[in-house]
Amino acid sequence: MKALILIADGFDDLQFFCPYYRLLEEGVSVTIASPRGDNAVGLRGYPIEADTSISAVDPAEYDLLVIPGGQSPERLRLREEAIGIARAFIDEGRPVAAIGHGPQLLISAGSMDGKQATSAPDIRDDLRAGGAIYHNKAIIRDGSLLTGRSSEDLPQFCRQLVSFLAAR
């Protein structure tokens, strides 16, 4: 199994590292993509070296998309290639896991209409405006979409992420 994690500067460090290491523990091959394929720096100043640029990604090569929160999704949603990747996963019914502000990218992809979802509370109105049915819960799974509310919910998010993989 292959997973793709999309990040840009300002990603939430915990929301990146917890799912990243949990996927590696499960034997998943993880590729990190950033806008230019170079370092992205997290909210707490930790740099991550990407494996590739977002424009070089072929979404068909991956089984799972992970979108950590923080300021990164706001930056990613300004890049048409990142929107295209998110749209491809959702439209094809392939697993997508987004936590915190991560669903912002999915909103820009026009992929939230009618979906049950959660997110960081400060973007709940964005989710609703994007057509999602917002729930203030730790995690929500709606078909191939897994959303998480915040870093405090990472234990449940990562547990469900592993369960999500096992169901594939």
Which residues are marked as active site? 101
Report the amino acid identity of residue 80.
Answer: E
Compute the C-alpha angle 13/107/84, nearest 5°: 85
Compute the 3-state secondary structure of the chain and give helix, strand, coil in percent, each to the nearest 5.
Answer: 40, 25, 35
61 sits in the region (left: phi over 0; alpha: psi -120 to 50; else beta) called: alpha
Residues 34 and 47: their CA atoms lie apart, in Å, by 12
Please name which of 2, 23, 28 lies closest in space to residue 89, comparing C-alpha atoms.
2
Q: 137: number of CA atoms within 13 Å, CB side?
A: 12
Please name which of 96, 29, 42 lies closest in space to residue 82, comparing C-alpha atoms.
96
Residues 56 and 136: their CA atoms lie apart, in Å, by 36
